[in-house]
Structure 1
Amino acid sequence: MLRVGLDESKAGVKIAGRNINNLKYADYTTLMAESEEELRSLLTKVKEESAKAGLQLNIKTTKIMATRLIDNWQIEGENVEVVTDFIFLGVKITADADSSQEMRRCLLLGRKAMTNLDKIVKSRDNTLTTKVHIVETMVFPVVTYGCKSWTIKKAEQRNTDAFELESWRKILRVPWTTRRSNQSILQDFPPTTEFRLGS
């Protein structure tokens, strides 16, 4: 439905020689433009095409994010919220493209997932291999979700490595106060353990 108005538009961002002005997933649509005028034009087209199909654009859930400051943004007399970041498909997108906030958020979610699995990973009834598989399938994907878009600095790399070792120490019941090197911790795991957060 929206394809008709958007694909014909010259507004958008040039990527690899192609003009891209929208990304769609389920009921989400992201519009991209190089200027406020282009964005206003795209948003108006979406609103018009939606109206033809008997749908309304919900301005209350519509957000604008720009790489430069915008004070007030309106479309046909309605105010549109201007934000510096937002969550899209579970990933935090920021205007400055800094991944550190998103990485911190994912590490917090990973710690919460690990805490929720405390009884399982600390249980003496489960084998080490089972615990490793549980952490690799239920915790690490939470931490690495959306990581393909991250720009990782050395500090963030150290944080992800620390989280991984923290998880392995929890499985082995080895507190930080125990004088054991990280290398000795990694050696206690089966040779099949290949999942590395930093890789």
Structure 2
Amino acid sequence: MKMSVDGQRTGLQWNPSEQLEDLDLADDLPLISGTHTHIQRKATRSHEHSQQIGLRRNVGKTKVMRLNTKTHQPITIEEQSLEDVVKFIYLGSNISTGGGADKDVELCISKARHAFKTHRPVWLSSQLSRNTKIRIFNTNVKSVLLYGCETWKTTKSIIHKLQVFISNCLRYILRIWWPNKISNVDLWRRMNKEQIHIEIKSRKWGWLGHTLRRDPRNIARQALDYNPQGKRKPRRPKSNWRRSTLDELS
């Protein structure tokens, strides 16, 4: 990647003196650019340099996601057009064009539900104590559910979905099945658990402190002060909209 972007300025203006060209981890390589010309040039150069050292990019697994762009010209590698997508998975997180964390939370709940079903013999075992089951639940299920929650933009809907899932799991562990009933407050008190939004806030503060202690040149540290390029379209005042609508009706 250093050879591919050396001498080029084809990324996003990250700070006054640097541009963000790509994010790399193992074989996951997202290229970032602000124009179609730049991303095409970067994709071609990275593909050519990869071939020089014996690597070949899988065109079928390479995707393109566009954000706030007017052009729909395809990105090509070896005359093959790359598929346009509205979401993709990177480092276990769901990245989508709409932003927000709803899709990511749904993915985490799905993974956590599978993990919970896998441990069904544990939950039904009479040889394990309640404390042991809760510890297994925290390490094998809850950790999957809250993976990456430090960067989520949480809403009431998201908190509700997470809390409902955890409450259902705890009821199953305690064998509180219909027609038996218990309030959520009593359930959390019996299991010595805090509400999920409190734990997420605690994790966010911990992650923020860890990030602030990083080197100022670290990408995660710089992201806290990043000011995106471009301008938002001005919203049309409601008063003008109402006035124009009344004029049209009259």
Q: Which has the larger radius of gyration?
A: 2
| TM-fit CA distance, 1:128 | 0.8
TM-score by length of 2: 0.71
Structure 2 match to 1:134: 136
Q: Is 64-73 or 137-146 further displaced after alignment?
A: 64-73
What pairs up with 1:187-198 in 2 under 5 angstroms? 187-190=189-192, 196=196, 198=199
Secondary structure class of the residue paired with 1:28: coil
Q: Per-residue CA shift, 1:22-43, capped at 9, x if unaligned?
A: 1111112110011111101111
TM-score by length of 1: 0.88
The alignment covers a number of residue pairs equal to 196
Q: Distance in 2 between matches of 1:138 and 1:44?
A: 42
For structure 2, the residue ranges without an aligned partner over 5 or more in a row are 201-250
Q: Per-residue CA shift, 1:30-82, capped at 9, x if unaligned?
A: 10011111101111120121122132222222111111473633244221111
Q: Distance in 1 between matches of 2:165 and 2:30?
A: 33
Aligned with residue 174 of structure 2, among 172, 175, 195 = 172
Aligned with residue 114 of structure 2, among 112, 115, 129 = 112
| TM-fit CA distance, 1:8 | 3.3
Q: Is 37-46 or 72-81 further displaced after alignment?
A: 72-81
Taking only aligned residues, the RMSD between alpha carbons, in angstroms, comes to: 2.1
Secondary structure class of the residue paired with 1:92: strand
| TM-fit CA distance, 1:144 | 1.5
Structure 1 match to 2:102: 100
Q: Distance in 2 between matches of 1:111 and 1:54?
A: 41
Structure 1 match to 2:58: 58
| TM-fit CA distance, 1:21 | 0.9
More strand by share: 1
For structure 1, the residue ranges without an aligned partner over 5 or more in a row are none
Structure 2 match to 1:39: 39
Structure 1 match to 2:161: 159
The reply on whether 1:28 has 2:21 as its aligned counterpart is no
The reply on whether 1:121 has 2:140 as its aligned counterpart is no
Q: Distance in 1 between matches of 2:195 and 2:185?
A: 15
Q: Distance in 2 between matches of 1:26 and 1:176?
A: 48
